[in-house]
Amino acid sequence: MELDKVIELRRSNRSFKPDKIAKSKIDYLLNCARLAPSAANRQPWHFVVLEDTRLAIAEIMVKQLERQNNKVVDRSYATRNYSPTASVQESIKIIKEAPVLLLIFRENNANWLEGDYLSIGCAGENICLAAANIGLGSLWIRDVSYTRYDIAKYLGLDDLDLVTAIAIGYPNVENYRAKKKELKEIVTYLK
């Protein structure tokens, strides 16, 4: 597909069919992620592909919501602006529904914090565009970051920093185009 068509077509997809995704398609997405630019070419990412295990991730998020609702304060979450409820509940529903959950971890390195986060953003966007290119839907789910330590520990990857998740699957609905700012609102040309 032409690049501008793919960019136009990519939308956040929040309703998925249960159909499985062929491994070759997931490999295609990850190969596109691998080719993304990265600060100092550090390629600071590590990708984890979950199918059934995604349900355990959803359960970890449910448990944290329950702890939050019971007002049990856990210091590991207190550093973040934690106001989950509706957004996290919706994300849990989507994680259960989409057949694949990709997790993107960052190598722990405090010196490269900002650059590495930007690099991971590039890799994530490549995944979403590649998904759109082959008829798959995708959704960034930053909501996993509230339970980043629990999830990493559960997966035995606590030496890495969980940055985000991307749900992948076949779209169940036609997605509307989210309202975007006009160029004149966001661009300044200077001579």
Ligand X SMILES: Cc1cc2nc3c(=O)[nH]c(=O)nc-3n(C[C@H](O)[C@H](O)[C@H](O)COP(=O)(O)O)c2cc1C
Residues in contact with ligand X by CB under 6 A are 11-12, 87, 90-91, 139-143, 178
State in angstroms the smallest separation of the CB of 24 from ligand X.
25
Q: Which DSSP symbol is given to 16?
A: B
State in angstroms the smallest separation of the CB of 12 from ligand X.
3
Q: Which DSSP symbol is given to 173?
A: S
Scan for tokens 């405090």, then name that residue: 110
Give every strand in the sheet of 45-50, ordered side by side.
Answer: 45-50, 100-107, 160-169, 137-141
Which of residues 1 and 27 has its CB atom nearest to ligand X in the complex?
1
State in angstroms the smallest separation of the CB of 14 from ligand X.
6
Which of residues 118 and 134 has its CB atom nearest to ligand X in the complex?
118
Token readout for 146 is 């509230």
> Residue 39 region, left (φ>0) first, then alpha (ψ -120 to 50), else beta?
beta
Contact by Cβ (8 Å): 149, 158: yes
Which of residues 28 and 140 has its CB atom nearest to ligand X in the complex?
140
Which of residues 34 and 142 has its CB atom nearest to ligand X in the complex?
142
Sign of CA dihedral 41, 44, 50, 54: negative
Contact by Cβ (8 Å): 94, 141: yes
Scan for tokens 């190598």, then name that residue: 107
Which of residues 27 and 90 has its CB atom nearest to ligand X in the complex?
90
